[in-house]
Structure 1
Amino acid sequence: MAAFWTEADWDEHEQVEVVHDRASGLTAIIAVHSTHLGPGAGGTRFWHYPDPALAMRDALRLSRGMSYKNAMAGLPMGGGKAVVLLDENRTKTPEMLAAFGRAVNDLGGRYVTAEDVGASVADMVAISAETQHVCGLPVEEGAVGGDPGPFTAMGVFLGIKAAVRHKLGQDSLEGVRIALQGCGSVGGGVARLAAAEGARMTVADVDAARAKTLAGQIGGEAVAAETVATVACDVFSPNALGAILNDSSIPQLDCAIVAGGANNQLARPEHGRMLAERGILYAPDYVINAAGIIDVGLEYLGRREGKPYTMDDLRERIGMIPERLSAIWRECDETGERPDVVADRMAQRLIGRG
């Protein structure tokens, strides 16, 4: 693996730790991009990477995205991310979780972890036995925190509605055609909310059976994962892994809007330009998908401050996501710049790098 500071996604990260615990078999990367606004916060991704360089790329890109996401969400937290490199069987043991918790603790609060792809609330509980710098823990019903997925889905749903209003001039999703990629916690939640408002849903997932089940539940159609990006629709909503918008996929899009919960949707910065040249409205991912980190961030901050935040606090902050997106698009309309460029500039100013 090349030195991480030579990677294309290196962005003056404050700290990058490669952790290896021989006894448990843990290999992980913890990347802290910025602590300008507070501790670097972001989830841990448990994934099998055929090439360790891909894990480093994920850690660098995702941690920078968390700096931007937390700043744009108005949280007093910086950006960080961790990836745990699993074997082909996705083996994850209690010993590995404990070792990872100790590694987080050794950073002394510079990094706060939570759920991401491949991680569960139970994993966060196990990690919390070794460190207090963790969120997304079980909470009482009606309390802020816990599984962030449903809240992320709500924020993405509200962001899609804002995009439809801006691009199509329609306040409701009634009759809007949405092609949705990824039927997990976030994607499935978005699909159910949109269908309940009358959207016409086409869904896909690498687990074809899961997509078929969801389609049956919401009265939609399931298609193959490799074809969903080509479906004629009003909104393409990516809610799986990143880099879905690239040289090969963008020319095949048949939509007016891209708005979804996946992180790092643009494979490279130039792909934002390709979307703009095609007249496709893009919802910057770290703005539209911020509700999950708002949820667990408020959980952590409330615990640290000794004054828990309420569900009203959480709903109010999630409700700000559509206006943040609208502000970006209004500036784009006024200046002719792209949404990804405008959003990045706003975020960079907030973290002291503008």
Structure 2
Amino acid sequence: MPVIALSEAELASHPAFEGHEEVVRIEDEATGLAGYIAIHDTTLGPSLGGCRVWRYADEGAALEDVLRLSRGMTYKNALAGLNLGGGKAVIILAPGAPKTPALFQAFGAAIEELAGRYITAEDVGTTPADMADVARATKHVRGTPASGVADPSPYTALGVFHGILAAVEYRFGSSSLEGIRVAVQGLGHVGWHLAEKLHEAGADLLVSDIDAKALARAEEAWGALAVPVAEIHAAPVDLFAPCALGAGLNAITIPQIRAAIVAGAANNQLAESDDAGRLRERGILYAPDYAINAGGVVALALAGAGRSQTEMRDKVEAIGATLAAIFALAAEEKTTTAAIADRLAEERLTAVKRRSQAA
């Protein structure tokens, strides 16, 4: 299985490269496997992050995605208090090419060559069944029945839901969602579970998705109002929940947002770091993505350590308290919530590095 390491010289000029420890290209002509695995930081332990399967426009787009996502996993795992580093994998699916068990077994063989430095799991475009195929070739995988949590999506949604409760309480003075208007962008695994919880809590839903069947189901199940994908971010709501792909918060969309809060499950929601400032300037409360969407990785990590369902739920629900602290610190220090989240994650990484150097 060819696992081709990219040199730091090759990566140094890439805008998304931030001192990643290891970036490899994975390929297998027989199965059609092509993609990247990026290990950003293993200060806290082996890197854990999902595998995204996507029909990328080109290799450059895939490389940028894996670099950004792996860095986000380092901060997510650190802020969540996990003894895990940050990594990510992306598989480039060619136009018309199907996902196959053989492709995922080849991917598992590539992971095995990294000797435990990277642990994979489900992400956009992958399922528990895909992870079971990966597990045929490597033990370094989560999100299978054998690992204790077959599908992390409900846990991710649970954490986002509690983060939303914290954001609503901070902004409106009450955690009740009764009558709160929420725009959910994306009804995939996590978005659907989140929307269901919001509906049960009394929220009025506006939803968007590229899948017309998912929209029809949401309209029937919850009386949700379907909104075009290109317009959902600008809907007149109290809270906007991005649950699709990243970079949706940018210099073009942020001025159009009419919500008081942005809190959702998508990774890498900010197109660039300045976007956190743009949100703050508009008075929009932003729940940093890797802080609010850590529920899935928390469940995967704790399940792998043999922890109980109660322990997992308690840890996931504590995401609300973490966000409440971030909101308060950002207000006190007159800075962005993203800056506070980054600092808290970096403080933990620095402390562990110092202890390691002193030992």
Distance, in Å, in 1 between the alignment partners of 2:186 and 2:193 is 10
Unaligned runs of 5+ in 1: 303-307
Offset at residue 230 of structure 1 (A): 1.0
Amino acid across the alignment from 2:310: D
TM-score by length of 1: 0.95
Percent of aligned pairs sharing the same letter: 44
The residue number in structure 1 matching 2:102 is: 95
The residue number in structure 1 matching 2:30 is: 23
TM-score by length of 2: 0.93
The SS at the match of 1:29 is: strand
Offset at residue 118 of structure 1 (A): 0.6
The SS at the match of 1:82 is: strand
1:149 and 2:162 aligned = no
| 8 Å contact from structure 1 (residues 39, 110) kept in 2 | yes
The SS at the match of 1:236 is: strand
Q: How does 1:195-274 map to 2 (within 5 A)?
A: 195-274=199-278
Distance, in Å, in 2 between the alignment partners of 1:122 and 1:176 is 36
The SS at the match of 2:183 is: strand
The residue number in structure 2 matching 1:78 is: 85
Offset at residue 281 of structure 1 (A): 0.2
Which residue among 190, 194, 209 is the counterpart of 2:198? 194
The residue number in structure 2 matching 1:305 is: none
Distance, in Å, in 1 between the alignment partners of 2:264 and 2:219 is 18
The residue number in structure 2 matching 1:346 is: 344
The SS at the match of 1:264 is: coil
The SS at the match of 2:40 is: strand
C-alpha RMSD of matched pairs (Å): 1.6
The SS at the match of 1:33 is: strand
Unaligned runs of 5+ in 2: 1-5, 355-359
| 8 Å contact from structure 1 (residues 284, 340) kept in 2 | yes
Offset at residue 209 of structure 1 (A): 2.7
| 8 Å contact from structure 1 (residues 4, 56) kept in 2 | no
Q: How does 1:150-189 map to 2 (within 5 A)?
A: 150-189=154-193
Structure 1 runs of 4+ aligned residues shifted over 6 Å read none
Which residue among 137, 151, 160 is the counterpart of 2:144? 137
The SS at the match of 1:99 is: helix
| 8 Å contact from structure 1 (residues 144, 314) kept in 2 | no
Offset at residue 90 of structure 1 (A): 4.5
Distance, in Å, in 2 between the alignment partners of 1:97 and 1:187 is 25
The SS at the match of 1:351 is: helix
The residue number in structure 2 matching 1:11 is: 18
Offset at residue 228 of structure 1 (A): 0.6
Offset at residue 179 of structure 1 (A): 0.7
Offset at residue 207 of structure 1 (A): 1.2
Distance, in Å, in 2 between the alignment partners of 1:90 and 1:168 is 48
Offset at residue 299 of structure 1 (A): 2.4
Amino acid across the alignment from 2:218: L
The residue number in structure 2 matching 1:108 is: 115
1:128 and 2:135 aligned = yes
The SS at the match of 2:116 is: coil
CA displacement 1:44-91 (0-9 Å, x = unmatched): 001111121110111001000000111111111000000001111252
Offset at residue 152 of structure 1 (A): 0.6
Offset at residue 185 of structure 1 (A): 1.3
Offset at residue 144 of structure 1 (A): 4.2
Amino acid across the alignment from 1:122: A
The SS at the match of 1:136 is: coil
The SS at the match of 1:6 is: coil
| 8 Å contact from structure 2 (residues 158, 317) kept in 1 | no
| 8 Å contact from structure 1 (residues 178, 202) kept in 2 | yes
Offset at residue 24 of structure 1 (A): 1.9
